[in-house]
Structure 1
Amino acid sequence: MPQRIAVIGAGVLGLAVAQSLSRRGAQVTVFDKNYPGSGTSQISYAWVNANGKEPARYHELNAHAIDEHKRWQASHPASPQWLLETGTLEWATDKSTLHQIEQRAAKLAALHYPFNICDRAELLSTLPEIRLDPRVQQAWFFPSECLLYPSLFIASLLADLRASGGQLVCNNEVTTLTESDRDVHLTLASGAEWRGDQLILATGRWATELLSHCGLELAMTDANRADPVACSFLAQTQPLPIQLNCNLITPELNVRPDGAGRLMLQALDLDQHADPARPVSPDGLIGKEMLRRLHRLFNNAEGARIECIATGQRSRPSDGLPALGYISESARIYLMVSHSGMTLAPLLGRLVAEEMLSGTGSPMLSAFAPHRLLSPLNAVAKTAPAYLPAAQ
């Protein structure tokens, strides 16, 4: 008799683990209160990397996830390319930031994370339209890093889930959740019910709402507040005559190709103004400042316009590290919450599926058990240390 497993949350983490479980013979049903990818997965810079991610066990998890992404893409030769193996170029103009990059590069070298140092001439050759600050004489290139098209990645995960017999139930919110020694019981807004052997909570920043049904509180950054740790502006330009085929991390602006000549822009110092409750206009102050920075960075950007600016909301446990594992002794409800979901999804999908079906814990996941972040509901939880990895 195959195990009956429900997954709540049809973002990249939920779909990745659902299709991995389904391909291994489990009877899987995915529930989402909206539609696939409509939450945190919809608005993301989608930078696949292990750059500056600490401690070492977290770096290792992300580094393995990069390789897992590449294997998944290679196993889908007929699918549109959701993974862009572009690498990342990064440079600085002030001595303090330059020193920080040098220190980070030294740590990455010790972890065997690949990078090259490019001189100014190489940068000018690689980026034909670049307006390079005279202070920039070199840059660091991280060749293993990638970019994602989230919608195409989600489409591939959905196709795999359906091909292996998995079920998807959308626009139907889970309203109650109960656990017993025998099973897990869900009630939906439509009045429908589900009973099965195990449940995965992959609802990202909404995890706290469902954990309250289990009498638990999860220490997470509040993504609904105006907080640069939790929120980030992401702007998309109209198509531009700028040749860019890699990810750029520059002092004023992060820039990535976003298809059909469009660019995605991110300026982390502007995120102090990001507030999910107050959307900003492409023609407002934030948009105008991003365009000024884009003009300073590239030729052919004089007529650039921003099509939209979204406020991304991070699914971020309060210590910045993933929360992965069973939340009770009955081993029926499994929690999956992580800020680096775009990077980690394929690897976590496989590792969590193997762990749940075999009953044997994964050594790579053991350091991220969720109990450090859980407390009885209404109890005063300890504040976890702040930690903000590189933009995702």
Structure 2
Amino acid sequence: MPQRIAVIGAGVLGLAVAQSLARRGAQVTVFDKSYPGSGTSQISYAWVNANGKDPLSYHQLNAAAIDEHKRWQAAHPAAARWLLETGTLEWAAKTLTRQQLELRVTKLHTLGYPAEMRDRATLLKTLPELRLDPRIEQGWFFSSECLLYPGLFIASLLAELRAQGGQLISNNEVIALNESAQEVRLTLASGDEWRGDQLVLATGRWAPELLTQYGLDLSMTDANRADPVACSFLASTQPLPVQLNCNLITPELNVRPDGGGRLMLQALDLDQHADPARPVAVDGLIGRELLRRLRRLFINCEGARIERIETGQRSRPADGLPALGYVSTSDRVYLMVSHSGMTLAPLLGRLVAEQMLSGTASPMLSAFTPDRLLRPLSAVAKNAPAYLPAAQ
């Protein structure tokens, strides 16, 4: 009899593990309190990379995930192209940041991560509309990196889930979960109940709420507060006559193509003003500053307008690294939460599915067990150290 497995959360991580479980013969049901991708997944810069991601175990996980993305796209040639194998161009203007970039490139070279120097003439030829700061003599091109369209990626994962017989139940929140030695039981807002063998918690920044039902506190950055570590402005422009076909990381502005001639803009130094409780207007201070920086970067942007500015809320464990593993002594409830979900989703979907069905975890996951971020709720009140012995 196939294992009955529920996945709570229809973002990229939840759908990736759900379709992978279904493809391996499990009977899978995905639950979401809203609709697929409605949380962190849909509001994302969606840069697939392993650039500057430490420690080594995290870099290796992300580097392997880039290849997994490319294999997944190649295996679905009839699907809409959600993965853009664009590469990333990056340069720095100030001496210190340029030195830091060059040190990072040197380290990436030792890890076998592609990074090619591009001189000023090549940068100007590659980007015809570019206004390049006179101080910039060279940049670096990271050819393995990609961008993706989150909506199309989610659609691909959903199609695969359904093709394998998986079920999606949207707009029906899981309000209670219980576990015994024999089964996991979920109670839904509709009054319905689900019973099965295993459960995956892939609810991103909402994971701590569900874990309280296990008497556990999960240490995560609070994405509901004004915090540049947890929140970031993402702006999309109207279509512009700018020939950009790669990801661009510059001193003032990160820019990526966003389809139909639109550009997505991100300026990390402005994120100190990002607050999910206070949406910003496209013609307000943040929008005007983003447009000023865009006009300094490209010609043909004098009449540019921003169509929308959203505040992305990151699903980020407190130490910035993924939390992946069982959180119950019976090995029935599995936690998946990670900041780099867009990059890691296909790889983690496969590795977690293999672990749940075989009982053996990949060595790639061994550095990311969640015990380092968990403590009993009773200890929280006493300000105890954030540690709970491993439940695996």
Normalising to structure 2: TM-score of the pair?
A: 0.97
Which residue is 1:10 aligned to? 10
Deviations 1:134-162 (A, max 9, x none): 00000000000000000000000000000
Secondary structure of 2:364's partner? coil
Secondary structure of 2:128's partner? coil
2:54 matches 1:47: no
Secondary structure of 2:357's partner? helix
- 8 Å Cα contact 2:235-2:266 kept in structure 1: yes
Whole-angstrom distance in 2 between the partners of 1:56 and 1:361: 19
Cα distance change on mapping 1:333 and 1:222 into 2, 3 Å: same
Task: Flag as ranges the 4+ runs of structure 1 deviating above 4 A.
Answer: none
Whole-angstrom distance in 2 between the partners of 1:60 and 1:228: 26
> Where does structure 1 lack aligned partners over 5 or more consecutive residues?
385-392
Q: Which moved more, 1:128-137 or 1:375-384?
A: 375-384
Cα distance change on mapping 1:196 and 1:383 into 2, 3 Å: closer
Which residue is 1:281 aligned to? 281
Which residue is 2:20 aligned to? 20
Whole-angstrom distance in 1 between the partners of 2:121 and 2:150: 33
Which residue is 1:164 aligned to? 164
How much has 1:378 moved relative to structure 2? 3.9
- 8 Å Cα contact 1:217-1:378 kept in structure 2: no
User: RMSD value over aligned CA atoms?
Assistant: 0.8
Whole-angstrom distance in 2 between the partners of 1:117 and 1:109: 12
Which residue is 1:367 aligned to? 367
How much has 1:382 moved relative to structure 2? 3.7
How much has 1:329 moved relative to structure 2? 1.9
Which residue is 1:79 aligned to? 79
Secondary structure of 1:6's partner? strand
Deviations 1:22-47 (A, max 9, x none): 00000000000000000000100000
Secondary structure of 1:123's partner? helix
What are the residue-to-residue correspondences of 1:300-379 with 2, within 5 Å? 300-379=300-379
Which residue is 1:209 aligned to? 209
The residue identity in structure 2 corresponding to 1:124 is L
Whole-angstrom distance in 2 between the partners of 1:23 and 1:152: 20
Deviations 1:318-371 (A, max 9, x none): 000000000122100000000000000000000000000001111100110000
2:91 matches 1:91: yes
- 8 Å Cα contact 2:375-2:386 kept in structure 1: no
The residue identity in structure 2 corresponding to 1:252 is E
Secondary structure of 1:103's partner? helix
Which residue is 2:260 aligned to? 260
Whole-angstrom distance in 2 between the partners of 1:378 and 1:65: 37
Which residue is 2:182 aligned to? 182
What are the residue-to-residue correspondences of 1:84-123 with 2, within 5 Å? 84-123=84-123
Secondary structure of 1:379's partner? helix
The residue identity in structure 2 corresponding to 1:220 is M
How much has 1:107 moved relative to structure 2? 1.0
How much has 1:106 moved relative to structure 2? 1.1
The residue identity in structure 2 corresponding to 1:278 is R
Secondary structure of 2:261's partner? coil
Secondary structure of 1:364's partner? helix
The residue identity in structure 1 corresponding to 2:85 is E
Secondary structure of 2:379's partner? coil
- 8 Å Cα contact 2:374-2:386 kept in structure 1: no
Secondary structure of 1:255's partner? strand
- 8 Å Cα contact 2:233-2:312 kept in structure 1: yes
> Where does structure 2 lack aligned partners over 5 or more consecutive residues?
388-392
- 8 Å Cα contact 2:221-2:317 kept in structure 1: yes
The residue identity in structure 1 corresponding to 2:352 is V
Over the matched positions of the two proteins, sequence identity in percent amounts to: 79
How much has 1:383 moved relative to structure 2? 6.3
The residue identity in structure 1 corresponding to 2:202 is A
The residue identity in structure 2 corresponding to 1:179 is E
Which residue is 2:126 aligned to? 126
How many residues align? The count is 384
